[in-house]
């Protein structure tokens, strides 16, 4: 469906400690530019309103940047689209990730679209909403991610996968491609192309283009 | 030079209202991953310690995300590398951008490397430190950026340009390529390749590859 310029689209992004910076800010850059011309609000959701660091909990010496959420999961506004970034933080069993999974599980029915990036797919998978659906995720972390929910029909060779209203992408930078593909679907090819050109990004238009699946020995099977 | 694992590298990133999210977080994602294996500190510098929004001052309805600086320009630690993102905020004449330009001007002599992304190059140009040097910038904003400092030897057809210790890149996503190229130079090709694969990013290895210069009529001359 091509969106009218005056339609209000409400987008939420799930944040948790150790989310991967580019997983979130690649898609956000696309959506920020989209908001220059369309009526879009973007909420950043987390367990609390405390700043959320990209620093992985597992990496004591790692650098990280701190982002301010706009809402807690408990105070989240109604949403049309939910984006879930990945990162080493998804592998944590701590409260913020469990809160994120609960939020995804209870809010999915209200969404028009769910978009997951990289190992963010594992949070949707653990919420149970990908059972029986085709989905993809980060290729380097393939084995440890897919084992978390074998009920998902995991697609090992894909830049991104669309099943119904759920768009899942491969690792990190694939989030930019899946978001541009979603913008193309929702706002039209010209809008997506103009954004990509503005970002000077040579985007991958082919969801089956995946040299990283080959690199990590996931394809050919 | 290939860096030893125990060498401490101090990187700073200049923030100002209306910086472009991907200009900063593309390179930061590369450097964050690098910090998992190398001794790297990353400081986020701004006029004050208040959160800095990516929302462009010129776009009243635009979406934006707020990032926490770690230091003010006045309290910045010694730095080896300074990164300057671009964005619509560079076109502001307000105090934070003037502070950024002053900081760049007075600190350049202490740096081992300066890396600019997109219209971030205009801040270094306005600081006067690019005079007589080869540099590039965003191709869509080419005319309005290059006119700010004609003393620079502007290179219209380049993904990125290296002149001495100054690395300047084309628009937005080109920041990922220039940062990976800098990592290759400083840490070796294997390190850069491993980071790019981890990000599932098909990076541009050729600094002269620039379809956007052609799209915007800057090349061939």
Say if CB B212 and CB A200 are below 8 A apart. yes
Contact map slice: A 20-49 vs B, CB within 8 A: 20-22, 24-26, 28-29, 31-32, 35-36, 39-42, 44
Look at residues B169, B123, B137, B133 and name the one whose alpha carbon lies nearest to residue B153: B133
Mutate which of B20, B24, B29 to test chain A, going by most A C-beta atoms within 10 A?
B29
Q: Do B68 and A68 touch (CB under 8 A)?
A: yes
Please report the domains of chain B, with CATH numbers, ordered by start residue: 9-216 (3.40.50.880)
pLDDT at B202: 96
Contacts of B149 (CB under 8 A, 6+ apart): B122, B125, B126, B128, B130, B131
Q: pLDDT band for position B95 (50/70/90)?
A: confident
With bands split at pLDDT 50, 70 and 90, how would you rate the model's confidence at B94?
A: confident
CB A67, CB A55: distance < 8 Å: no
Average pLDDT over residues A78-103: 94
Q: What are the structure tokens assigned to B110, written together?
A: 């202490």
Residue B118 annotated in active site = yes
Which of B66, B202, B212 is the closest to A200 by Cβ?
B212
Put simply, whether the predicted model's pTM sits higher than 0.95 gets the answer yes
CA distance A162 to chain B (A): 19
Tens-place pLDDT, residues A165-195: 999 999 999 999 999 999 999 999 999 999 9
Residue to test with chain B: of A32, A85, A158, A178, most B Cβ within 10 A: A32
CA distances from A85 to A67, A133, A152, B51, B94 (A): 14, 19, 18, 22, 34
**Rounded to whole angstroms, how far apart are CA atoms B193 and B22?**
20
The pLDDT value given to residue B1? 57
Per residue in A137-161, pLDDT (tens digit) is 999 999 999 999 999 999 999 999 9
Given this model, what pLDDT does residue B201 score? Answer: 97
Mean per-residue pLDDT of chain A: 96
Q: Which residues pair with B116 in a beta bridge?
A: B84, B168
**pLDDT-derived band at B4, boundaries 50, 70, 90:** low
Q: How confident is the model at residue A4 (pLDDT cuts 50, 70, 90)?
A: low
The answer to whether ipTM exceeds 0.90 is yes
pLDDT at A3: 64
CB A17 within 8 A of CB A52: yes
| Test mutation, B65, B145, B171, B172, chain A, max A CBs within 10 A | B65
Q: Is the pLDDT of residue B14 over 80?
A: yes
B79 confidence band (pLDDT: 50, 70, 90): very high
Nearest CA among B115, B81, B92 for reference residue B19:
B92
A17-26, B89-98, B208-217: least confidently modelled range: B89-98
Between CA B96 and CA A7 the distance in angstroms is 34
As a whole-number percent, the residues of chain A with pLDDT over 90 amount to 94
- Percentage of chain B beyond pLDDT 70 is 97
Q: How confident is the model at residue A94 (pLDDT cuts 50, 70, 90)?
A: confident
Report the mean per-residue pLDDT for chain B. 96
Query: Concatenated DSSP letters for chain B?
Result: -PPPTT--EEEEEE--TT--HHHHHHHHHHHHHHTTTS-EEEEEEESSSS-EE-S-TT-TT----EE--SEESTTPPP-SEEEE--SGGGG--SHHHHHHHHHHHHHGGG-SEEEE-TTHHHHHHHTTTTBTSEE---STTHHHHHTT-TTBEE-SS-SEEEETTEEEE-STTHHHHHHHHHHHHHH-HHHHHHHHHHTT------TT--HHHHHTT-S--
Chain B segment 181-220 residues within 8 A of A by beta carbon are: 197-202, 204, 211-212, 215
Q: Give the C-alpha distances (Å, rounded to integers) separating B49 from A15, B16, B77.
A: 22, 11, 14
Residues in chain B with CB shorter than 8 Å from the CB of A61 are 35-36, 39
Q: Please, are residues B54 and B19 in contact by the beta-carbon 8 Å criterion?
A: yes
Please name the member of A26, A66, A197 whose beta carbon is closest to the beta carbon of B68.
A66
**What are the percentages of helix, strand and coil residues in chain A, rounded to 5?**
35, 20, 50
Residue B147's CB: how many other CB atoms inside 10 A? 10
- Residue A93 confidence (pLDDT) above 90: no
């Amino acid at each position: 469906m091509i969106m009218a310029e005056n339609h209000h689209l409400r987008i939420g992004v799930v944040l948790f400690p150790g989310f991967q910076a580019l997983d979130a800010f690649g898609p956000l850059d696309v959506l920020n530019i989209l908001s220059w011309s369309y009526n879009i609000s973007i909420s950043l959701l987390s367990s609390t309103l405390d700043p959320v660091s990209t620093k992985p909990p597992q990496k004591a010496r790692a650098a990280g940047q701190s982002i301010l959420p706009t809402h807690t999961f408990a105070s989240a506004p109604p949403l049309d689209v939910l984006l879930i970034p990945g990162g080493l933080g998804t592998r944590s069993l701590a409260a913020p990730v469990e809160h994120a999974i609960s939020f995804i599980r209870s809010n999915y029915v209200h969404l028009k679209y769910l978009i997951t990036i990289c190992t963010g797919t594992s949070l949707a998978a653990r919420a149970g909403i990908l059972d029986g659906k085709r989905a993809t995720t980060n290729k380097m972390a393939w084995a440890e991610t897919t084992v978390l929910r074998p009920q998902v029909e995991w697609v090992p060779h894909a830049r991104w996968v669309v099943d119904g209203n759920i768009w899942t992408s491969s690792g990190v930078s694939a989030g930019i491609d899946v978001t541009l593909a979603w913008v193309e679907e929702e706002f039209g090819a010209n809008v997506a192309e103009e954004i990509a050109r503005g970002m000077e990004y040579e985007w991958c238009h082919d969801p089956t283009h995946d040299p990283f699946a080959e690199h990590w020995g996931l394809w050919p099977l």
